[in-house]
Chains A and B, each alone.
Chain A
């Protein structure tokens, strides 16, 4: 007898349908799986057989053939355990075929028949929903994750027996989640706040500008100047995630298997902090069947690169494309995949190898050593880091200021306002933020008055700025103008922007 059950698999962060066709017929007893299964799928045989037996059913001693269609893509992972078990149970008349029609089934089985959580439920259910499927059966632990998709009935299953009962005797209640509730409860809570940071006003201001225009930032400063501390607080001044953004991130985390309790929607902006020994494929994504890397895991959030010059050169060069295109394309023999990577990069570095150049007598680096150290970061990458700001090494206790530092919430208000101005301005362009302006768009949106042009000219001449600084200064000045709700770019905006391009400057000593 033949049966057919609908399931899903992943390519990149998108799901596609897989038909689990099962035939149980007379012949030499056996269990074969075809349709390019990898070893985890092949091992399903043992799990499915034992699970069925241990759930109180009799596994048929017949010739069983399972085909995973389309047969030309490689299937991986244990998610087909459950659909296979269901298909076999249909063949031995424990379940009626009609009861699983138009239902997507996925889940891993353990030997005692318990259904275990799997990765990538959200993108797969999303795909099913888009194709018009109305019902799905997923592991109970993945239930809430799947239920984030409104408009599809989600049944969470704990074990195989429960599933059979659901399909034959009494129906289980579909799982529902209230998205608004999740958002309300968790979204506002960040563990870090900018009010903890005393001093370093210029860096804080630079991060505010960066957040407002989604500019990438490079912080330069001696050890212990609070670079990491400030970077960690950056997500707290970015606007709250929208539901759409949140789903995008959750999909990526679902595929990567990083959803912590398998049922949560990611409601905070990601903050990823990879160690500098990270490999190429861990950074941008990779593997035989490509998986998302750090750039995608920080989608809609912050990617913090501490000790930038210590990263391997090739890893840094790989970052160029995602930072430019806001997505990353990975080509392997098996597949070419595109993951989103709309991130804000924040990097930090010491001024020299020992860390104290320009800050203390301790520094023993020669001028050559300093330029060699800074030369580890290539020009093209530096080009993508719009804002370069120096953190000062100051024992702030000594200054003993009574001034209270501004809280993240206050800064966030200004950031949101500036971002709204940008969205309104660029509604007819294909961009959202000042940092995305192309050269021709800069001409259009960053027009300067006579005195502003003059100021910029003097700045270039006097400060020995490099040519590549020109457009960056204009973009940053545009963001600063937006922050102060000014329609035009004025002298003070340009002057402040000039202070945020440190590495363009050539210091004498």
Chain B
């Protein structure tokens, strides 16, 4: 015999049956177990199903198949949590069209800790990337869980920031949790799994189809109390997430950007429409009613107390959070190229500055 949750898991894995159809079937049959035992003629009474769906359900009715699914989850260390499970995230349960169940790899944090999602474009500027990192890190330091989508750009930087702030972070994927997408994020994925988890509504081995991503986005915002948009273009997946967040009644924060930058058009537009202004982590903490524990120890580098030699200070002072090129440093400091190269290496090795591609430098965070 199988548990009700197993039957739901079984339903999510039948081809051509999405959350809406599952929901109408469960409404009709009152439990997933009843669907397992239903005949094709009774299934036909569910108006949402077409003949192909019914055939798929009938042919999937095999104890071997359901057992293989259960074994696979065990082997891959993946948990399936159905909507009616008491461990199902509370906030997510109450969104319009919640997922029937979620697959979780890693440890699902409890509902008690506040979650904030940080989202933004895959293609981002240094401005966006460094601030996503910084805010995620500061949130993590305040024991807030950072939720994002593990995509390139802002998402990755948010996860990194949270990990470096020794916090927990959750990645929500548009593919099976056993697949690493984008494949370049393998090491990041491992780090996320150390303390946090990876969540997907899709069964293992599902490939990342474009159509999955808007649906994935509703889970990102659904899990969190607030959504922070770091950088986004005018038409982007990020703004879809914002739309869903508003529908779900989440607070939306947007980080203002350069008005000439394409990459900030979306966020600036959100601000115009009345989103909360995000210029520091405290903006989020205040709305959530959380006191900044690290208030006295500001971790942003502008206040970092570092002792440097005269020339090193000269070079360090040129470098801010806006990227600066080597040529500009030369003009500003009037030092010889060889000594600047030396100082830059020393500063970088000491962790005071970071080098970006394009022979540019910024202060590290």
Contact = CB atoms under 8 A, between A and B. Distances in A.
Interface of A: 199-202, 204-205, 222, 351, 357-359, 361, 364, 366-368, 371, 390-394, 396, 399, 401, 403, 455, 458-459, 462-463, 480, 484, 491-492, 495-496, 498-499, 505, 507-509
Contacts of B326: 201-202, 392
Contacts of A371: 184
Of B334, B337, B341, the most chain A CB neighbours within 10 A belong to: B341
B269 interface: no
B360 interface: yes
B338 interface: yes
Nearest to A204: B337
Given A202-B337, A462-B349, A495-B346, A507 B327 contact: no
Contacts of B96: none
Nearest to B330: A201
Nearest to A367: B152
Contacts of A480: 338
A391 B126 CA distance: 18
Interface residues of B, number: 40
Contact of B356 (A204, A484, A507): A507
Given A496-B338, A496-B342, A394 B357 contact: no
21 contacts: A202-B326, A202-B327, A202-B337, A202-B341, A205-B341, A367-B182, A368-B182, A368-B184, A371-B184, A390-B359, A392-B327, A392-B358, A394-B328, A396-B327, A458-B349, A459-B345, A462-B348, A492-B339, A495-B341, A496-B341, A499-B345
Given A361-B262, A394-B328, A459-B349, A509 B360 contact: no
Given A351-B358, A390-B357, A507-B356, A499 B341 contact: yes
Nearest to A484: B338
A496 B153 contact: no
B126 A492 contact: no
Contact of A392 (B331, B351, B360): B360
B129 interface: yes
Contacts of A458: 349
B219 interface: no
Shortest 8 CB-CB distances between A and B: which pairs? A358-B357, A358-B358, A495-B345, A390-B359, A492-B342, A392-B325, A496-B341, A392-B359
A491 B342 contact: yes
A455 B345 CA distance: 10
B341 A509 contact: no
B356 A358 contact: yes
Of B129, B152, B338, B348, the most chain A CB neighbours within 10 A belong to: B338
Given A392-B325, A509-B153, A351 B338 contact: no
A401 B332 CA distance: 10
Contacts of A222: 358
A361 B261 contact: yes
A359 B358 contact: yes
Contact of B126 (A401, A505, A509): A509
B118 interface: no
A465 to B, nearest CB: 11
Contacts of B261: 361
Contact of A367 (B157, B160, B184, B346): B184
A109 to B, nearest CB: 60
Contacts of B262: 361
Contacts, number: 103
Nearest to B153: A509
Of A463, A480, A508, the most chain B CB neighbours within 10 A belong to: A508
Contacts of A459: 345, 349
A401 B330 CA distance: 10
Contact of B331 (A399, A455, A499): A399
Contacts of A199: 327
Given A361-B125, A361-B262, A459-B349, A499 B356 contact: no
Of A366, A463, A509, the most chain B CB neighbours within 10 A belong to: A509
A379 B115 CA distance: 44
Chief secondary structure at chain B's binding surface: helix
B13 interface: no
Contacts of A505: 355
Nearest to A509: B129
B338 A399 contact: no
A401 B331 contact: yes
A463 B348 contact: yes
B124 interface: yes
A350 to B, nearest CB: 11
Of B262, B328, B358, the most chain A CB neighbours within 10 A belong to: B358
Given A462-B348, A509-B124, 5 more contacts: A351-B357, A392-B327, A492-B339, A495-B345, A509-B157
Given A361-B261, A455-B349, A509-B153, A205 B338 contact: yes
Nearest to B357: A358
Given A201-B326, A495-B342, A507 B357 contact: yes
A210 to B, nearest CB: 14
A208 to B, nearest CB: 9
B345 A496 contact: yes
B146 interface: no
A201 B327 contact: yes
A238 B195 CA distance: 57
Contacts of B153: 509
Nearest to A361: B262
B344 interface: yes
Nearest to B160: A508
Contacts of B330: 201
A301 B152 CA distance: 44
Nearest to A198: B327
Interface in B86-108: none
Contact of A391 (B152, B337, B346, B359): B359
Interface in B311-365: 325-328, 330-331, 334, 337-339, 341-342, 344-346, 348-349, 351, 355-360
Given A201-B330, A367-B184, A495-B342, A508 B359 contact: no
A441 B287 CA distance: 65
Contacts of A391: 359
B263 interface: yes
A484 B337 CA distance: 13
B129 to A, nearest CB: 5
A201 B337 contact: yes
A87 B263 CA distance: 82
Contacts of B152: 366-367, 509
A359 B359 CA distance: 9
Contacts of B342: 491-492, 495-496
A153 to B, nearest CB: 54
A432 to B, nearest CB: 24
Contacts of B357: 351, 357-358, 390, 507
A322 to B, nearest CB: 30
A399 B359 contact: no
A357 to B, nearest CB: 7
Contacts of A495: 341-342, 344-346
A134 B283 CA distance: 94
Contacts of A499: 341, 344-345
B351 A462 contact: yes
B359 A202 contact: yes
Contact of A399 (B160, B327, B351): B327
A240 B357 CA distance: 36
Contacts of B125: 361
Contacts of A205: 337-338, 341
Contacts of B334: 403
A122 to B, nearest CB: 42
Of B330, B339, B351, the most chain A CB neighbours within 10 A belong to: B330
B179 to A, nearest CB: 16
A394 B358 contact: no
B109 to A, nearest CB: 26
